[in-house]
Amino acid sequence: MAKASPKKKAEESKPEYIHVKFEMPRRYNWSTGKYLGHFYAEAKENKKIVGNRCPQCKEIWVPPSGVCPKCKVEMGWDWVELPQTGEVYQYTYLVMPLWDPHYGEKWANPYPSAIILLDNGVFYRHRLEETDKDKLKVGTRVQAVWKEDYEERGEGPADILYFKEIGK
Amino acid sequence: MAERVGVVAVGQTQYHPDRSDVSEEELAYEAVVQVLEATGLTLSDIDSAVTCSQDFWDGRTISNMNIQRVVGAHLGHEDKVAEDGINAVYVGMSQILSGHQDIVLVLAHTKESQADKSVVENAAFDPALMRQLGLDFVSAAAMQAKRYMYKYGITAQQCAKVAVKNRGNAKNNPLAQEPMDITVEDVLGSKVLSSPIRLLDTKPTSDGACALILAREEKAKKLTNKPVWILGASNCYEVHYLGDRDLADCEAVVKAAKKAYSMAGINNPLKQIDVAEVSEEYSYQELLWMEGLGFCGRGEGGKLLDSGLTKMGGKLPVNPSGGVLSGNPVGVAGMARVAETVLQLRGEAGDRQVKGAQVALAHGVTGICGQHQCVMILGNR
Amino acid sequence: MPNRVAIVGIGQTYHTSRRPDVNQPEMVAEAVRAALADAQLSIKDIEGVFFSNMETFEGIFLPDHGMAAEVGAFGKPGLKVCTGGTSGGSVVCEGFFFVSSGLYDLVLVIGFEKQDCGDTTAAISAAATPMWGKGAATGAIGEFAKQALSYMETSGAKEEHAAMVRLKADRNACRNPYAHLKLGLKSVDDVLQSAYLVWPLRILDFCPQSCGACALVFASEQRAKKITKKPVWIADVETVHQEPFRAGVFGDPTGKETYTQHVACERLYKRNGITNPRRDIDTAEIYEPSNWEEMNLCEHFHFCEKGEGWKLIEKGITEIEGEFPVNCSGGVIATNPIGATPIIRVAEAALQIRGDAGEHQATRDIKTALASALGGPNWTILTLLKRSL
């Protein structure tokens, strides 16, 4: 004969935790300064990508720097215009969307970012236009595509929308 | 502890309300370049850097990344302290005393003009209890000022006299942001920010940087013929929740000072200290901190000020540089106090020189109503 | 002569993804009480309290001030350091320097992160300079994705090797009561089937965001010998920071950049007479945010030849029972409360030396251990621990 089924234990009540929800928009007004400011100006006015060159080791730094990170000497004002074409050296793409905390935007899926070897041997990092991940390839020749509207520029590296495959 | 730690060079930028012309890195470099030129060192000669900046003020996570290039952190040792800059000097000191580093660059920078002061400060209040009250440092300090004045009968005039003294002293400091010729009436007539604190009782928004080079005794003597020795230092935390302490007390100052004094062999501060640079973000604080430092008894800060002992020419001049009130950014303020005492002890303080200064006190605060205090004693013998 | 410094107390919280039952100060207090209990000391004995935490992840400015009462810092000296992922390593260095200098005899070193309070990846993306990073920053994950690619290209490692590293981490974490992720993974396929986060990194390839705290008690030699029969000596520390690489932060595909890991371990090894790391060191607790990076770091730290990091896992060398156990605790890929993570590496290495790691104790006798911290644009802090100096 079956035993009587055991009485179910009363479900242990889960404690209700009290949380404090807080949104904290923090406004900042960052100065670009002399060196980065020059980069921003060249991008806005002339749609040029520039880097500065160390007087001692001759290395070109982009983003520009006031002090050469390697030699630790003051950089001076030797600017080099960088080519706007190059090849994709390495890339990755976002699958799960991420928030950009500075601008409150959510970067879409997929979101390809790449290290581009510009034609003069300097590395530059930016987005790619190609969003089909199966079409992304190392070695693809790419070219910078700028925001055409002058009024929309003034965001430094973000003035370049993306690098797109040459010939597309 | 075999060798002492010496400060061999100091650099400060012109304190200014809005340095939009430079980035954090360039601003910091203006201070760094001064200490490099003074010692003939290059960034490659530095063993380690201790920087001081706050992620919340800079708006950048890992804010030391902003200034790494200008402290020679490439393949080098670098730490970031998240309290007032005087604590970075303390950390640099410990690195040298431990025998692990010989030459340390210490740097503090803040660009208050870039950030939303009240929002940043509000984030320091605990999220569950105090943040919703919308407090920032001024409103919290106002509570402390009121309590202090109520408990001991400190008057608004006495607080105002601090502003008059310090702003007046600042006229002799070419780097000061807001030297002023003002009277007590001017202070008491200025706009109320948060009663009883008025505009002229408060430090202005400021951008600036300060850098020092510390070195082990033997090296310090080679780098400069006027090294200034750190004779003692300590810091101390208070409790956080404003209701948990009597805001008219300054126990953290007392404790920090006690340990610093004992290291430096000071048992009678008024007699043994020749000049003091105290971090007074609001005028009443100079009176309160002086009590904690033992310059007078509890509740006697106002009386001490009235006596004239702390004026230029008095027995123990306090803030000949003009202090924080005349314009120092948060985080840099305490390190600037150290820099000023070093200049005093080297006899390089120009028109604000306290004659014959041999032992000096530098003091820094961090946080709400001076929750974190640091005291440092320096000497030139 | 500088003082010798030993770890005499170790405490951790049970790391997990959410701790709705405690606020930040209460969580840290758990670790502090555990460390004091381990050392059989009271908070009254502690002379200074040093903190590490990344404030922007929780949105709490000056968190050390906020918890001064709960963790016993009230009325005591102390301060907070904040250097990104290496924060915990920096605070270990500060604690070490303060005791070694003779300024203090007994201090608490605390690291914590309560990541359920904020959005960590967003905050990490905020480490990219805001004036350069818009659109290009993909947090730490994007950088480790590129590192994984570089590593595959240059070393010949396969996804299966990365999956094997992940399995080892999980097996070890399941034996560690404090670890966060205890998934019970059974096979390489379990790993290879998880979804991509940032190609080619899968969810299981990357560390979690954990809530947790870790506290250590450091003592000068004189005090240490009175407090415990098993002090763990901090033989040496080394911090190396740097600028970000232009070509790749964690894995430079050009092969031209210098890694902080190389500079740090070469300096540390030279100062401590370590000529054959696999022989002179018995175990390592390294800060590996991804399984690919663990293989890479083993090469950087000279635990194997360049390009052969994947052979270590293939041959079982880095298992708990292996010849050179790495991350017996489960590592960062199982547990990652960022401000505490480097301190947990030191804590776990110290437990191994004391023989107190319970089920995740290495099979071989551990006399010397290396703990590493990683942060920012590939910074390194190393701590060398020994049973006797």
Nearest Cα of chain C lies from the Cα of B113 at a distance, in angstroms, of 16
Both ends of chain A: CA-CA distance in Å?
80
Interface test with C, best of B20, B240, B371 (most C CBs within 10 A): B240
- Whether the pLDDT of residue A2 is over 50: the answer is no
Nearest Cα of chain A lies from the Cα of B113 at a distance, in angstroms, of 8
Phi, psi for C368 (deg, rounded to 5): -135, 135
Cα distances from B49 to residues A119, B103, B286, C99, in angstroms, run 37, 9, 31, 19
Q: Tell me the chain B residues in contact with residue A41 when contact means C-beta distances shorter than 8 Å.
A: none
Of B59, B123, B127, the CB nearest to A20: B127
Are residues A113 and C142, on separate chains, in Cβ contact within 8 Å? yes
Interface test with B, best of C21, C26, C61, C383 (most B CBs within 10 A): C61
Quick one: pLDDT at residue C4?
A: 96
Strands A105-107 and B192-194: unpaired
Quick one: pLDDT at residue B1?
A: 46
Phi, psi for B172 (deg, rounded to 5): -95, 5
Q: Tell me the chain B residues in contact with residue A19 when contact means C-beta distances shorter than 8 Å.
A: none
Question: Is residue C233 one of the residues assigned to a domain?
Answer: no
- Split at pLDDT 50, 70, 90, the class of B41 is very high
Interface test with C, best of A22, A35, A65, A113 (most C CBs within 10 A): A113
Q: Which chains touch B (3 or more CB pairs under 8 A)?
A: A, C
pLDDT tens string C93-143:
999 999 999 999 999 999 999 877 666 665 555 555 555 655 555 566 778
Question: Do the Cβ atoms of C301 and C372 come closer than 8 Å?
Answer: yes
B375 close to C (CB below 8 A)? no
Q: Tokens representing C233?
A: 């000596």
Are residues C67 and B368, on separate chains, in Cβ contact within 8 Å? no
Nearby residues of B77 by Cβ (< 8 Å), 6 or more positions away: B47, B48, B49, B101, C238, C239, C240, C241
- Whether the pLDDT of residue C195 is over 70: the answer is yes
Are residues C130 and B60, on separate chains, in Cβ contact within 8 Å? yes
Question: Is residue C112 one of the residues assigned to a domain?
Answer: yes
Question: Is residue C366 one of the residues assigned to a domain?
Answer: no
Nearby residues of C47 by Cβ (< 8 Å), 6 or more positions away: C76, C77, C104, C105, C106, C107
DSSP assignment string, B71-117: GT-TTBEEEEE-S-THHHHHHHHHHHHTTS-SEEEEEEEEEGGGB-H
Measured between CA atoms, the residue of chain C closest to residue A18 is C20
- Domain of C112: which CATH number? 3.40.47.10
Question: Do the Cβ atoms of C92 and C216 come closer than 8 Å?
Answer: yes
Nearest Cα of chain A lies from the Cα of B22 at a distance, in angstroms, of 4
Q: Domain limits of chain A?
A: 31-82, 83-168
Nearby residues of A167 by Cβ (< 8 Å), 6 or more positions away: A141
Round to whole Å and give the CA distance between B73 and B65. 10
Which amino acid belongs to residue C317? I
Range name among A10-24, B94-108, C29-43, C198-212 with the lowest pLDDT average = A10-24
Quick one: pLDDT at residue C375?
A: 86
Number of structural domains chain C divides into: 1
pLDDT tens string B173-197:
999 999 999 999 999 999 999 999 9
Are residues B19 and A69, on separate chains, in Cβ contact within 8 Å? no
Q: Hey, is B186 helix, strand or coil?
A: helix
Nearest Cα of chain C lies from the Cα of B321 at a distance, in angstroms, of 27
Rounded average pLDDT over B4-14 = 97
Q: Tell me the chain C residues in contact with residue A69 when contact means C-beta distances shorter than 8 Å.
A: 242-243
Q: Mind listing the domains of chain B with CATH numbers?
A: 5-116+205-223 (3.40.47.10)
Nearest to B336 by CA among B179, B171, B25, B110: B110
Quick one: pLDDT at residue C263?
A: 93
Q: Which residue has the higher pLDDT, A15 or B85?
A: B85
Are residues A31 and B21, on separate chains, in Cβ contact within 8 Å? yes
- Whether the pLDDT of residue A8 is over 70: the answer is no
Question: Is residue C95 one of the residues assigned to a domain?
Answer: yes
pLDDT tens string C357-386:
999 999 999 999 999 999 888 899 999 999
Cα torsion angle, C287, C292, C294, C300, sign = negative
Round to whole Å and give the CA distance between C317 and C294. 13
Both ends of chain C: CA-CA distance in Å?
15
A32 close to C (CB below 8 A)? yes
Are residues A155 and C134, on separate chains, in Cβ contact within 8 Å? yes
Q: Tell me the chain A residues in contact with residue B33 when contact means C-beta distances shorter than 8 Å.
A: 74
Of A26, A32, A68, the CB nearest to B119: A26
Question: How many CA atoms within 13 Å lie on the side-chain side of B184?
Answer: 9
Are residues A33 and B25, on separate chains, in Cβ contact within 8 Å? yes
- Looking at this predicted complex, what is its ipTM? 0.94
Rounded average pLDDT over C42-61 = 90
- Chain B segment 80-139 residues within 8 A of C by beta carbon are 80-83, 87, 90-91, 93-100, 120-121, 123-124, 126-128
pLDDT, chain C, mean: 91
* DSSP state, residue C196: E
B172-199 burial by CB neighbour count: b if 16+ within 10 A, else e? bbebbbbbbebebebbbebeebbebbbe
pLDDT tens string B194-236:
999 999 999 999 999 999 999 999 999 999 999 999 999 999 9
- Whether the pLDDT of residue B362 is over 90: the answer is yes
pLDDT tens string A37-95:
999 999 999 999 999 999 999 999 988 988 888 888 899 899 999 999 999 998 888 77
Quick one: pLDDT at residue B67?
A: 83
B313 close to C (CB below 8 A)? no
Cis bond leading into B227, ω under 30°? no
Nearest to B358 by CA among B342, B337, B374: B342
Nearest Cα of chain B lies from the Cα of A161 at a distance, in angstroms, of 24
Measured between CA atoms, the residue of chain B closest to residue C101 is B98
Are residues A99 and C132, on separate chains, in Cβ contact within 8 Å? no
Quick one: pLDDT at residue C133?
A: 56
Are residues A115 and C247, on separate chains, in Cβ contact within 8 Å? yes
Are residues C62 and B252, on separate chains, in Cβ contact within 8 Å? no
pLDDT, chain B, mean: 94
The topology under which CATH files domain A83-168 is: OB fold (Dihydrolipoamide Acetyltransferase, E2P) (2.40.50)
E strands along B176-314, which residues?
A: 192-194, 197-198, 207-216, 228-237, 275-277
Cis bond leading into A63, ω under 30°? yes
Range name among A7-16, B104-113, B366-375, C13-22 with the lowest pLDDT average = A7-16
Measured between CA atoms, the residue of chain A closest to residue C122 is A101
- Whether the pLDDT of residue A5 is over 70: the answer is no
C136 close to A (CB below 8 A)? yes
Are residues B25 and A32, on separate chains, in Cβ contact within 8 Å? no
Cβ count near C319 (within 10 Å): 19
Q: Hey, is C66 helix, strand or coil?
A: helix
Phi, psi for B266 (deg, rounded to 5): -105, 125
Are residues A66 and B29, on separate chains, in Cβ contact within 8 Å? yes
Q: Tell me the chain B residues in contact with residue C90 when contact means C-beta distances shorter than 8 Å.
A: 79-80
Are residues C132 and A69, on separate chains, in Cβ contact within 8 Å? no
- Chain C segment 150-169 residues within 8 A of A by beta carbon are 150
Are residues B26 and A66, on separate chains, in Cβ contact within 8 Å? yes
Q: Hey, is C93 helix, strand or coil?
A: helix
- Chain B segment 238-277 residues within 8 A of C by beta carbon are 238-241, 244, 251-252, 255-256, 259
C312 close to A (CB below 8 A)? no
Quick one: pLDDT at residue C213?
A: 96
Interface test with C, best of B23, B57, B65, B120 (most C CBs within 10 A): B65
Are residues C82 and B234, on separate chains, in Cβ contact within 8 Å? no
Question: Do the Cβ atoms of C242 and C83 come closer than 8 Å?
Answer: no
Measured between CA atoms, the residue of chain A closest to residue B45 is A72
Quick one: pLDDT at residue B158?
A: 97
Measured between CA atoms, the residue of chain B closest to residue A68 is B69
Q: Which residue has the tokens 């005393």?
A: B97
Measured between CA atoms, the residue of chain C closest to residue A125 is C136
Q: What is the pTM of this model?
A: 0.93
Round to whole Å and give the CA distance between C93 and C107. 12
Quick one: pLDDT at residue B233?
A: 98
Q: Tokens representing B149?
A: 């004045």
Q: Tell me the chain A residues in contact with residue C246 when contact means C-beta distances shorter than 8 Å.
A: 61-62, 122-125
pLDDT tens string B294-348:
999 999 999 999 999 999 999 999 999 999 999 999 999 999 999 999 999 999 9
Of C74, C78, C90, the CB nearest to B79: C90
